Amino acid sequence: MATEIILPKLGETMEEGVIVEWLKKEGDPVQRGEVLFTIESDKATLEVESPAKGYLRKILVPAGQAVPVLTVVGLITRTADEPLEEPQEQPQVAVAPPVSDVVSPPPSRIFASPRARRLAREQGVDLAALTGTGPDSRIVERDVRAYLEKQPKATPVARRLAEQAGLDLRAIPGSGPGGRITREDVEQAIAPAAPPPPPAPPPPPAVTEEVAVTSVPLGGVRAVIARNMHASHQTTAPVTLTTEADATALVSLRERLKTSLAETLGFNIGYNDLLILIAARALREYPYINARLERDANGTEVISYVQDIHIGLAVDTERGLMVAVVRHADRKGLVEIARELRELVGRVRQGKALPDELTGSTFTITNLGPQEIDAFTPIINLPEVAILGVGRIRPRPAVVDGQLCVRQTVWLSLTFDHRLVDGAPAARFLQRIKQLIEEPYLLLA
């Protein structure tokens, strides 16, 4: 019997993936654990290994195609000439529903084979819309496939969104490969129609030189970033507080740590390591910043105060902006944070970080100091309450004890959601960040 190659679910948030490249051809011998193909999710590019030893007999999903997780994408047989036979469908086993406090009429039972149910679940097909051709009108896999052949090509996520919105997929143009309807296509169809444009201005004077324009589709990670940033701008009430901190003591501490720990760590302690340690301490003392706006089971908006402190660090990569997450940062020392952050940022920039390593942060730091930016207005990383922007540390003239001198200073910018936190409490949190930067020995208290 052939061994199925499954597109794995590499994280809680992963719903589908795109096969970037098959590294083996049909008929090639494969070893268990050998890399068969690479996949791309909305967060990273990862390698998938062979589940068995044998021969890659059939590629069911070609490169470039997006499919839901847990989809069978290929088949492996033990020998090169073993017949490819699909396993027999197993009989349906009825399971008694759990007892509920609320008595409701039992739903009409839909008889379907396990393979039909799995395919319907993967492709977002409602079994109630199908007519079974199996024994006793049971729905079998060929019924689901026949239904899909009559429907427009669409991703499972797009099908579910369209069903929830009551939209007919046949009326939605697809922008994906081969005219496939994507989630963005359905979201665009759901969005209210834009108001008519104003009258066109008179045409500009003719120019003799043509302007060369190169267009690229807004897709992949860039589309995810655009969608998240737009959602943050539209749904939050952002306010940004800025303050200048004297970082002279922090710079001195880092220099001493570089000298003391370089041989042990194999690299130099960085400012981001110290900033994560400082932010974790401040969040533990001001838990109202370590929160998020959510909806409870009744759909009511509630403020959820998160007990765990997971700090995200914005990382610039070739594929776009990513947020690497250091989990339980308040429980870790500086050396542990530094080691974990180096490994994590390395995987993020190589595109090998798992989706769960790029999600779940409760507070984010974005540091544009290396790009020589002094101050800026960061955008909140939903569903968090606030984000800390850090500018470059550099010597500036300052007055200390009535005397003009040169000090190392840094601008801090805290953007927070005013729906959940007021200005004064947010300012107190930023003050604490400033104090720990100016007096880092307080981290030992």
- Please give the helix or strand (H or E) that residue 48 lies within, else none: strand 45-49
Residue 418 designated active-site: yes
Fold of 3-77: OB fold (Dihydrolipoamide Acetyltransferase, E2P) (2.40.50)
Residue ranges covered by each domain of the chain:
3-77, 238-444
Q: What are the respective helix, strand and coil percentages of the chain, to the nearest 5?
A: 35, 25, 40
Catalytic residue among 230, 233, 328, 418: 418
**Per-residue model confidence (pLDDT) at position 354:** 85
Per DSSP (E only), the strands in 188-346 are: 238-246, 291-295, 301-305, 311-317, 320-326
**Per-residue model confidence (pLDDT) at position 367:** 97
**Per-residue model confidence (pLDDT) at position 105:** 39
Indicate the residue type of 84.
L
Rounded CA-CA distance 312/237 in Å is: 21
The interaxial angle of helices 248-265 and 334-350, nearest 10 deg, is 80
Secondary structure (3-state) at 125? coil
Q: 278 near 247, Cβ under 8 Å? A: no
| Number of CB atoms found within 10 A of residue 21's CB | 11
**Omega of the bond leading into 383 within 30 degrees of 0 (cis):** yes
Tokens representing residue 31 in the block: 């070893």
pLDDT tens, the chain, 445 aa long: 788 999 888 766 677 788 888 999 999 999 988 989 988 765 667 788 899 999 999 999 888 887 888 888 999 998 988 887 654 443 433 333 343 333 443 445 577 776 777 777 767 777 777 888 877 777 888 888 888 777 777 777 777 777 777 777 777 888 877 677 887 888 777 765 455 566 767 766 665 666 788 877 776 667 777 888 888 888 899 999 999 999 999 999 999 999 999 888 999 999 999 999 999 999 999 999 999 988 888 888 889 999 999 999 999 988 788 999 999 999 999 999 999 999 999 999 988 888 889 889 999 999 999 999 999 999 999 999 999 999 999 999 999 889 999 999 999 999 999 999 999 999 999 999 999 999 999 998 8
Q: ∠ at Cα 240 (373, 269), nearest 5°? A: 45
Q: How far apart are the first and last CA of the chain?
A: 64
Rounded CA-CA distance 217/40 in Å is: 17
Fold of 238-444: Chloramphenicol Acetyltransferase (3.30.559)
Contacts for 357 with CB less than 8 Å, ≥ 6 apart: 324, 325, 344, 347, 348
Tokens representing residue 179 in the block: 């005219």
**Per-residue model confidence (pLDDT) at position 377:** 96
- 140: nearest Cα among 119, 110, 122, 113: 113
